[in-house]
Amino acid sequence: MLWAGIGVDNLIDMRALLDGVSIFEVSLWLSGLLLVLVLIGVRVAFAAAFIGFVGLCAFFMQRQGFDQGLVTAAKLAGQVPHSKATQYALSLIPTFILIGYLAYFAGLTTALFEAAKRWVGWVPGGLGVATVFATAGFAAVSGASVATSAVFARIAIPEMLREGYDKRFAAGVVAAGGTLASLIPPSAILVIYAIIVEQSVGKLLLAGFLPGLVSALIYGALVMGLARLRPTLGPPVGGFTWGQRLSALPGALPILLVVFIIVYSIYFGWATPTEAGALGAGVVLTMALWKGMRWRDLQGALMEAAKLTVMIFAMIWGVLIYVRFLGFAKLPDAFAEFITGLDMGPYQILLLILLVYVVLGMFMDAIGMLILTLPITFPAVMALNGAEAGGVGALGMTNEEAAIWFGIIVVKMAELCLITPPIGLNCFVVAGVAQDAKMDISVQDVFRGASPFFVADVATVAVLIAFPGIVLWLPGLVG
Amino acid sequence: MATTSNVLTDDSSVSRADRALLHVEKALNLAAGITIFALVLLAISNVLLRKLLNAPVPGYIDWTEQFMAVFAFLGLAYVQREGGHIRMDLLVGNLKGRLLWLFEFLSVIFMWVVVTALIYGTWFHFDRSFDFSAPNWSTDSSIDIALPLWPAKLAVPVALTILWLRLAVQIWAYGRGLVQGGDRIVAVPLPEDPAEQASKEAAAVGALGGDRRG
């Protein structure tokens, strides 16, 4: 043994030192410390792995003394990365990421915006509505909100400014439109949720489809409403003939093809989600090659896709080391017991949990926040529903349904935070792109422009809570 | 999330170590990227062969899981070098000079400790599935076509060791920053304000500059 011979046992008797210490209390302290580490800027994946490892050390040193406890903890933690990161279900994450990086080279973004503009430009705030639908369409090939906002800031904002749109309004629409990527398949964040809470990846992806569509419609309605109330915000852009409208469609078709492949394959069990993602990537890649993408471009896209993939996988196994310790400390069980013991109705408690997410989301990255908190909040929500096998629980659904439904709600909440100050990343990205292109738009402008969409998102969440059928209908059909 | 950070260089030894390591890291990250591409091709062939010829790729899932070990780990050090691993920079984003280097120094030390433990743990995980005297040197294998698992398991401690070296370089560089002070030190990603970050993020997806195809 590498470390068993250190002989620290001769110096300190850890068993005596830790005797009578409650590992549960240790887990509370360590979870607090994890928050501190994250706050002072330690990389989230490694902060979680560190705390998990220290916790495992405490647990095993209490039983086996320092030397052997250290070895056991390292071995247990060491099993996690390989065994958790090489599960087949996770293999679709890089395919989705690659689709996103290739989509630009396939020329899909301008084609989409052009088509949306010709079809819906004539309504009040027409270019804003077009942006919403174009971002929703692009979301279908890109699971990344921030990238979606970045791309459309470049395409849609200059055009809106040319047509005399209010700059805050224009920037806000783009920042908010980017958040649609999180629900419309393929969505990387939903896959991560499915893995962490051990639910069917396919069902979650299907579940995101209608809520994503509802979000887009609510956004579109909001833009029209605002532009109707204050026509100076954004005038309609009309004058397109049916011929022009029809001719704009072929460029946007690959998007429909990708959505169709992914939803159809999963829905009919024609291919696994990974295969569907790969087929989607194949379509976009073919398109990109046809448009003249070079080897250098592909290499760049692969490097970026590899980076984002390893970042996400590190978060997953890092947090799962922490989760392994939490399991020994029984912290999730205790939290679930505490939640169900509260003297409040299930929806009140759910609302409280969601509020905590809004606050956390103001300061944390969406994926980081979800991965860090789900191990504790998810079992609590399941306990809150508390359905017997096959039965319906306090939230009016089976446990599997509740798991899917909560996933969609919580991802929507996490995305909401991309447009809230102080660190709403989408807003910074839009402002960054705008400043780079010498447009006079500050971060504050974007935040103010995006604020009505925050209200719309809250309304969307309320609708999804009131009508869970919107979430559960499509996955329910698969059985 | 996919930002590329600015790392300054000069002819000091720490900067030379940084650049030497960067060659290895870039190559590993590119290998990871190419593996993602291979995974896409493999999955497409599997669907097509299954649907058209009723003959799926033998051991498709086994191969996929082997590939995953490559792209899930090999880029770890490269992303650390570029300052990419997700973190909250609310606090460190507002610090400057020695105080900033102190926090970065501590932050890297925490990582270094856990990575050291994980190298041991993941090596042990590999070692249990590896035996020179066994067929394919392997004591365990994948379910379908019995691929040996040790190469995939070995990828983890190898990637973590490169990361360990990267963290050592960063400890050295931040330590140097602590001693020398100043705002611009070499061999580590320098902090960027959100606007700079955003521009780079946008550039990564090609949303900036000559908008040739977008």
Spatial distance between the Cα atoms of A154 and A441, rounded to a whole number of angstroms: 13
pLDDT band at B4 (very low <50, low <70, confident <90, very high): very low
Give pLDDT, residue B205.
58
Closest residue of B to A3, CA-based? B120
Spatial distance between the Cα atoms of A358 and A55, rounded to a whole number of angstroms: 28
- Nearest CB among B68, B88, B194 relative to A85 is that of B68
ipTM of the complex: 0.90
Q: Spell out which residues of chain A touch residue B208, defining contact as CB-CB under 8 Å.
A: 154, 433, 436-437
Mean pLDDT of chain B: 87
Nearest to B170 by CA among B193, B186, B191, B192: B186
Interchain CB contact of A1 with B (< 8 Å): no
CA distances from A285 to A90, A99, B5, B60 (A): 21, 8, 27, 22
Interchain CB contact of A37 with B (< 8 Å): yes
pLDDT band at B207 (very low <50, low <70, confident <90, very high): very low
Sign of the C-alpha dihedral, residues A132, A134, A139, A140? positive
Nearest to A328 by CA among A68, A50, A52, A70: A52
Per-residue pLDDT tens for B162-171? 999 999 999 9
Spatial distance between the Cα atoms of A207 and A214, rounded to a whole number of angstroms: 12
Interchain CB contact of A35 with B (< 8 Å): no
Beta-bridge partners for B189: B7
- Nearest CB among A82, A95, A437 relative to B69 is that of A82
Q: How far apart are the CA of B24 and the nearest CA of chain A, in angstroms? A: 14
Percent of chain A whose pLDDT exceeds 70: 98
Q: How far apart are the CA of B145 and the nearest CA of chain A, in angstroms? A: 15
Give pLDDT, residue B29.
96
Beta-bridge partners for B186: B8
Kindly determine whether residue A308 and residue B107, on different chains, have CB atoms separated by under 8 Å: no
Range list of H helices, A197-345? 201-229, 242-247, 249-267, 273-290, 295-329, 331-341
Kindly determine whether residue A82 and residue B125, on different chains, have CB atoms separated by under 8 Å: yes
Closest residue of B to A311, CA-based? B85
Sign of the C-alpha dihedral, residues B182, B188, B193, B199? positive
- Nearest CB among B29, B88, B207 relative to A364 is that of B88
Please identify among residues 189-218 of chain A the ones whose CB lies closer than 8 Å to any CB of chain B: none
Counting every residue written for chain B, the total comes to 214
Interchain CB contact of A410 with B (< 8 Å): no
Residue B209 in this model has a pLDDT that exceeds 80: no
Spatial distance between the Cα atoms of A98 and A300, rounded to a whole number of angstroms: 11
Interchain CB contact of A89 with B (< 8 Å): no
Q: How far apart are the CA of B8 and the nearest CA of chain A, in angstroms? A: 20
Spatial distance between the Cα atoms of A351 and B49, rounded to a whole number of angstroms: 49
Beta-bridge partners for B138: B130
Give pLDDT, residue B137.
84
Instruction: Determine the Cα angle at B58 with ends B54 and B61, to 5°.
Output: 110
Kindly determine whether residue B214 and residue A110, on different chains, have CB atoms separated by under 8 Å: yes
Instruction: Determine the Cα angle at B118 with ends B113 and B121, to 5°.
Output: 135
Please identify among residues 284-313 of chain A the ones whose CB lies closer than 8 Å to any CB of chain B: 285, 291-293, 299, 302-311, 313
Q: For chain B, what is the total number of helices (H) and then of strands (E)?
A: 6, 0
Kindly determine whether residue A302 and residue B37, on different chains, have CB atoms separated by under 8 Å: yes
Q: Nearest 5°: phi and psi at A477?
A: -70, -25
Q: Spell out which residues of chain A touch residue B56, defining contact as CB-CB under 8 Å.
A: none
pLDDT band at B192 (very low <50, low <70, confident <90, very high): confident
Q: How far apart are the CA of A141 and the nearest CA of chain B, in angstroms? A: 13
Kindly determine whether residue B198 and residue A150, on different chains, have CB atoms separated by under 8 Å: yes
Kindly determine whether residue B118 and residue A309, on different chains, have CB atoms separated by under 8 Å: no
The structure tokens listed for B140 are: 């365990």
Beta-bridge partners for A375: none
Residue B34 in this model has a pLDDT that exceeds 50: yes
Instruction: Determine the Cα angle at A466 with ends A462 and A472, to 5°.
Output: 105
Spatial distance between the Cα atoms of A54 and A76, rounded to a whole number of angstroms: 12
Q: How far apart are the CA of A276 and the nearest CA of chain B, in angstroms? A: 8
Q: Nearest 5°: phi and psi at B32?
A: -60, -45
- Exposure class string for A349-370: b at 16+ Cβ within 10 A, else e: bbeebbeebbebbbebbbbbbb
Q: Spell out which residues of chain A touch residue B1, defining contact as CB-CB under 8 Å.
A: 144, 146, 308, 311, 365
Spatial distance between the Cα atoms of A361 and A190, rounded to a whole number of angstroms: 17
Give pLDDT, residue A227.
93
Kindly determine whether residue A40 and residue B107, on different chains, have CB atoms separated by under 8 Å: yes
Q: Spell out which residues of chain B touch residue A138, defining contact as CB-CB under 8 Å.
A: none
Kindly determine whether residue A307 and residue B2, on different chains, have CB atoms separated by under 8 Å: yes
The structure tokens listed for B192 are: 């960027």
Beta-bridge partners for B148: B141
- Nearest CB among A40, A43, A309 relative to B91 is that of A40
Interchain CB contact of A43 with B (< 8 Å): yes
Q: Nearest 5°: phi and psi at A269?
A: 60, 25
Element (H, E) at A365: none
**How does pLDDT run along chain A (479 residues), one tens digit per residue?**
444 456 788 888 888 888 888 999 999 999 999 989 988 889 989 999 999 999 999 999 999 999 999 999 999 999 999 998 998 888 888 988 888 788 777 878 888 889 999 999 899 999 999 999 998 888 777 666 777 888 888 889 998 999 899 999 999 999 999 888 778 877 878 888 988 888 888 899 889 989 999 999 999 999 999 999 998 898 888 888 999 998 888 888 888 888 888 888 888 888 888 899 899 899 989 988 988 888 888 998 899 889 989 988 998 899 899 999 999 999 888 988 888 888 888 889 998 998 888 888 777 777 778 888 899 899 999 998 888 877 888 888 998 999 999 999 998 888 888 888 777 778 888 888 887 777 888 888 999 999 999 999 988 999 999 999 999 998 888 76
